[in-house]
Chains A and B, each alone.
Chain A
Amino acid sequence: MRRKEGADAVRLMMLFAVFVIASALGYRVIRQVPPLLHTPLMSGMNAISGVTVLGALTATAAALATGNRLLGALAIVLAMVNVAGGFVVTDRILKKFRAKR
């Protein structure tokens, strides 16, 4: 048990490093997006937050109890609505932005 928690600590540290680096890089890139595109930026980011579907997939695949599998399936449906809906809505908004001909 002790050993496992040691390995866990290393794993957590690495994931935390990923979190910090991604936040910093994301911050730099996103700051460049002009206010004109803030709505599509937000709905696009919204779609990305559906990335939690990856977690839902692995957790549900590993789950054994029926209740957990059903809850997992619900999580997959919701996350996928978020992903598909978010990206398509963003695409629709962005296509509306046209320059003066």
Chain B
Amino acid sequence: MSLFALLLLPFAGSLLTAVLPTRARTALAACAGLVAAVAAARVVSLYPQIRDGGVIRETVSWVPSLGLDLTLRVDGFAWMFALLVTVIGALVCLYARYYMSPDDPVARFYAFFLAFMGAMLGVVFSGNLVQLVVFWELTSVVSFLLIGYWHHHVDARRGARMALTVTGAGGLALLGGVLVLGHIVGSYDLDVVLGSGALIRSHALYPVALVLVVVGALTKSAQFPFHFWLPRAMAAPTPVSAYLHSATMVKAGVFLLARLWPVLSGTEWWFWLLCGAGASTLLLGAFIAMFQNDLKRVLAFSTISHLGLITLLFGLNSPLAAVAGVFHIMNHATFKASLFMAAGIVDHETGTRDIRRLNGLMRSMPRTGTLALVASGAMAGVPLLNGFLSKEMFFAEAVFLTAHPTVEVGLPLLATLAGVFAVVYSLRFGYEIFFGEPSTDLPRHPEEPPGWMLKPVELLVVACLVVGVAPSISIGPLLAAAARPVVGGDLPEYHLAVWHGFGAPLVMSLLAIVGGVVGYLWLRSHQRSGRLNETPFFERFNGRRLFESGLVTATRLARRALRLVSSRRLQAQMFTIIGVAILLALLAARGVPLVWGDRERLPASHEFVLLWVIGMVCAVGAAVMAKFHRLVATTLMGGAGLVTALTFLWFSAPDLALTQLVVEVVTTILFLLGLRWLPMRLHDPSRRTTMRDRVRRGRDLLLAVGAGAGLAALSYALLTRPAPQSISPFFLDRALPEGGGTNVVNVMLVDFRAFDTIGEITVLGAVALTVYALLRRFRPPAESIGRPQQQRVLPSDVVTDLVKPRATGERAGGYMMVPATIARLLLPFSFVVAAHFLLRGHNEPGGGFVAGLVVAIAYLTQYVFSGTRWAEGRAHLLPPRWIAVGLLLAATTGLGAVAVGYPFLTSHTAHFTLPLVGEVHLPSAMFFDLGVFAVVVGATLLILTALAHQSIRAHRPPAPNKRTEAS
């Protein structure tokens, strides 16, 4: 299995679990667990290749023009992280099988879970910094979904949103930092970046890159001052917390610090930024953790504190401290995952996580209690457990560090104090709930969980013990392999042993344990008497409130800005668009002055002038009449369209003229069909025109005149200047020899630009279907439901009994008999005309568009004169099939070229001789044009008949509004 397959495996598993039955807990857990286990096994099998500092690389070209490749790169450190991600992932899958309730939609849970595992593996394996950021953001997004898994809880939604906002914003900062790094180095490849440490540290942009990268890491790892999201993320299901908030997601931040340690560390900036954040987080997290009463919140703040410790260790600029940091990443992941799981078990079995209510659980759940006790010992740093070893290394570093005097004195003090706090909260977690008088008022009767639920915890706790007792045998080689790349290849001298002799670090450890026990007893006695139940001092230093008020302010500002610069009124928007367009044109005219050229003018002819006098009158008339006299306006509009068509014909564009002519016909029919459903508007003499109306009209008129004048000037300048170079000779040259037709416009449509035409007919078909779908749900306005006056036998306001009963309520039959007959007789002739246009289209004016519209008009004429029922009773047109057949035909013609090895839509002309007919040239573009023809027929008919159908549909009156009825 290649690295890419390994990376894709969890994502594939995610898709698979997403489609499995949503409540099949066992099957889903088995599936997800298997995926994680296979991934873990594969990771383990990579060990020999990376053990001695080897690096595995796999590359796939991504965006080569930007120097971006998809690179997967595994060295010892990435390997160690991948091991944590997959092994703990597999354990959590098993655990979640028993934790999640039968009512939870667990398919979603496992799908997100595996997707998260994939994203995390992506971060760890990335050999390219941009790729790393992409996966980094993916972890933020998927963790949002996981934290918000129980989305019916408001806490879960808010917690998820906060986590996403903070880590997502950090991800943006990281992206900035990575881009700066790439700018400095000239490559985003991790190996190149790792090899350019000196260059980066001496570059002027180093502080910028550093701050941005560090902000990314600190937000992800919940470091002060961004730590506030982590406790809120505890609203997630406990398996999620055990995975994301102990072993993976929050570790991504420190992963990044370690990854870039050889490049970015070793400077004052690095030292003060990371030590400052790390030390304050270490102390603050531990302090707040002591006062929490919710098991998971204790663990959350303890996680914050431990991550602070790791950050601090990386910040010390010492290789030995960095090794300790790597070691603590591993140790913390094991004991914290087991503690989260234990907290989940307690919650699951007792129904509460409140430390004040939980007591003496050792009697009812001895196995869980023992495991939790050992794991909290590791968290506190008790000897013979793994937490002790890395903490000891930290103490040693704190003592032997050579730095600023205040740091030299302060750091050991701070370390010991944090150690004391850690012992206190570990005792509160491990000791307080399991010992003492058993609680009697728990929501559920506590008992041991199913054996398989404890298995993951047992495994992790055994790992803590084994590492704690025999570190150099069990973890030594792994640690060496993992730490070597972090410190840049040469491991410092260190000894993994429980007993280092009696020295300052041991004294500090002992002090911490003794101080912790004393502190715990003191705190407990105070809390028993009702004091110190809240966190003293630091309750107010809460980033959450700041975050929320920031969010509210940002929303309010955005809303205000929107109100200021935008409008929901169409008229205002139109005014702005046109105004800005005119303004831009004026500005452009300052740069390139609008002057007339001296191209040879065409002499004006009287006929043409007269034609356009009519045309302009039509246009202006339509503009004036559109308010009250829609029929007149539609007619005038048709007049302007006809003149436009004639203009095309005049200036050597017969194809355009034909198309414009037939489109004009269908557009007019379209408007006529639509007019019926518009409200009647009559000029109301009683309504006075207000001043405001006048100002607005004046303003619009000014704008209209301005736009018209601008267009006229622009077009005059264009028409009088020398014609520019054009690519058209290419088309003129090739139309006959390569396109096989003499009508260049048609050859362009069906051959040179056929791809564009395919897009166009697709749009046409889509529009027709949309129109059809919209009209299916159409509810006409109340006053237009009745038959129009013209279709009634008797005017509706005449009261009489002299009416033939059969004719009552029916449409006035028998009118327009003569035109209907003529239209019927014309139908076959129209087909001949259409066939003529279609067949000659390649060489003479015509083509699929025109032919299709001619056929459509011929059918529509039948609708117009004989009525919808009559027409549909005799011809089954099925317009959607026309559209489908046409699109298929066009696409098949195009694909035919692909099938014989040419690019899509390459055309070919077949020449053969038929008896009687003679020589025949059959270009493949002909079939394409046939497809165009079919789509145009289908789309036009579908649009217009759907509209026509409205008048024969039995319209129900709109359903009564329930709300008004109730009131």
Partners in one complex: no
